[in-house]
Chain A
């Protein structure tokens, strides 16, 4: 007997979940949507006497079994736990404890069967089993629905050919677990969307602002708090679901990627190739550039081998001077250069744009990075450095030849006076040199003694002496 049962069991177990039989007997639970569980349960029990009994569990609350015997019997049990079918009588078992006992004496085979099934689903054994004299149980496990169904044919009770059959093949249970996981994921996605919705609602509420909120600040705050609480709740729920989720096997991901049939839609490989090409090209170019630059003698920084260490220490300080220090320097210069006036604007943070008015002759725009002069532009006093929108315009040239010339000279002087080690002295000497331009229009050239040369006044000032020369007259 036991052998026979075993045989029937194994036949069921080996049966894939999607046999034609199971497919045609699939039912969709009407309550599945509500409880979030979709399961198909096919319990197929075959007695050795070739009586077929089917038991369908539609939902945890309702299950019925059908046994195909000489007399067809149908049993519906509304209990959450178990169902039994006794042919030909209809039986109800409302609950575990009060399960109907219309049982024949336990056959030895039963215990054997049970012991056989126990290791299969140790968790899913219902506690009702010992109570119920009938060897049948349906149990719910936390994530899967495992059903043990023992169908009893009363016909054979006299001769005690009791057959118990357990259906729920292992493969099916695995699928159910997977489906469960999918359920969870779907739920989690839903919850994520919910969180998104509530967060965006909160933000939109905030972005609407609290117009005319003089009176109802408290209300606004409470609303905000409420929406934050909603977010929090949603998040907690999501977290719960996250814990429930089984980890996805990551090792298979890349494998899947390679199997992606839509190659055109994911031009990953070609992109990777392109990126790689470009990266190597960039590397080549930068190496080249570094090589060329390292050979070039034009350094704005002190690069004398030994002072490399000093450079590292010095250069950061000279271009990252604090705004306060720069302001202090400005007031200092303002005091020391009588006929020059300074004003500073910082359109882009730390970089200061200093406008220097040299006497009545000209205006100079100096861009300072810390205390390093980056850019010099000279214009007339009547010209302005502002664009139409009122922003400072560094790039526009002066309309007048004189100042274009002086700009060139000033740029040269900026490089001449450059010294990263003692930046404030460098700037100061540059300003001292610039100061000499206050006599731009009134001083004659020291060499030729004339004021004009080609329609231009002496635009050159000697770096050391500051004496005026024409462009062509300077030695």
Chain B
């Protein structure tokens, strides 16, 4: 497990998502990266339906990452991230009476994986309830465990492929700079972005 940076790629005006993904893939291949299968990160959200005076309304996000296929990440909206076996899904089903899945909230990012030296580049298209919402890029550098050490290195790679997309590191990553990076950090980055996409989608709908 190395360090991971997840960031959205803003689709330029007048281009379809598919075009941009194709373009990005070409660029990455040009760099010398080789295809290494596909990946998928998905997220489902459960909402508490019991009005217990002790607990306010809660959201629990359940995420899976194909990089850790036997693991299930559960994040409460307070930010607490539980790393558990994939059987945690079954436990969530046992809580049907208390937590119910929010309809139309399933969001996922899937796409192609590329390996380039010790880097892993993933180009994922975000699908909210199966409709395309945007592009999420993930860059992982395996050998290092501290983001602070290799941020410049990663930035150089990202910029060499995608242009000046990340001048400053995302806020979430900035606070993680000097602590050892773990799989749950990746998931939390994804969740942050997923929540952003959802908000945008609902805002769009409202408009």
Which A residues fall within an 8 A CB radius of B? 360-362, 380-382, 399-403, 440-442, 444, 450-452, 454-457
Contact = CB atoms under 8 A, between A and B. Distances in A.
B153 A451 contact: yes
Given A381-B145, A441-B144, A451-B152, A401 B118 contact: yes
A177 to B, nearest CB: 88
Contacts, number: 57
Contact of B150 (A401, A441, A454): A441
Nearest to A443: B152
A402 B143 contact: yes
B1 interface: yes
A362 B2 CA distance: 13
B118 A400 contact: yes
A454 B149 contact: no
7 contacts: A361-B149, A400-B118, A400-B142, A451-B152, A452-B153, A455-B119, A457-B153
B99 interface: no
Given A401-B117, A455-B116, A442 B143 contact: no
B10 interface: no
A361 B118 CA distance: 14
Contacts of B150: 441-442, 457
Given A382-B1, A455-B32, A360 B157 contact: no
B138 to A, nearest CB: 17
Contacts of B142: 380, 399-400
Interface string B145-172: 1101110110011001000000000000
A451 B32 contact: no
B119 A450 contact: no
Contacts of A401: 117-118
B118 A455 contact: yes
A452 B156 contact: yes
A441 B147 CA distance: 10
Given A360-B146, A382-B1, A455-B157, 7 more contacts: A360-B145, A380-B143, A380-B145, A381-B145, A402-B118, A441-B143, A456-B117
B149 A441 contact: yes
A360 B143 CA distance: 11
Contacts of B119: 455
Contacts of A403: 143
A440 B144 CA distance: 10
Interface in B1-20: 1-2
The 6 closest A-B pairs by CB, nearest first: A455-B117, A441-B150, A400-B143, A451-B153, A441-B149, A451-B156
Which of B117, B144, B146, B150 has the most chain A CB atoms inside 10 A of its CB? B144
Contacts of B152: 442, 444, 451
Contacts of A381: 145
Interface string B101-118: 000000000000000111
Contacts of B160: 452
A380 B157 CA distance: 20
Contacts of B144: 360-361, 380, 441
A451 B141 CA distance: 13
B184 to A, nearest CB: 15
A18 to B, nearest CB: 92
A53 B21 CA distance: 130
Nearest to A456: B117
Contacts of A399: 142
Interface centre among B146, B153, B157 (most CB of A within 10 A): B153
Nearest to B117: A455
B73 to A, nearest CB: 19
Nearest to B146: A360
B157 A452 contact: yes
A325 B2 CA distance: 38
A361 B145 CA distance: 8
A456 to B, nearest CB: 6
Given A452-B153, A452-B156, A382 B145 contact: yes
Contacts of B156: 450-452
Contacts of A454: 32, 117
Contacts of A380: 142-145
Contacts of B141: 441
A276 B144 CA distance: 59
A469 to B, nearest CB: 15
B124 to A, nearest CB: 21
A400 B156 CA distance: 19
A399 B156 CA distance: 23
Contacts of A444: 152
A402 B118 CA distance: 7
Q: Which of B119, B143, B146, B153 has the most CB of A within 10 A?
A: B143
Contacts of B116: 455
Nearest to B157: A452
Contacts of A362: 143
B176 to A, nearest CB: 14
A456 B157 CA distance: 10
A289 B150 CA distance: 49
A455 B146 CA distance: 18
B166 to A, nearest CB: 14
A360 B177 CA distance: 12
Given A403-B143, A452-B157, A360 B117 contact: no
A442 B118 contact: no
A457 B116 CA distance: 13
Contacts of B145: 360, 380-382
Interface in B115-145: 116-119, 141-145
A450 B146 CA distance: 20
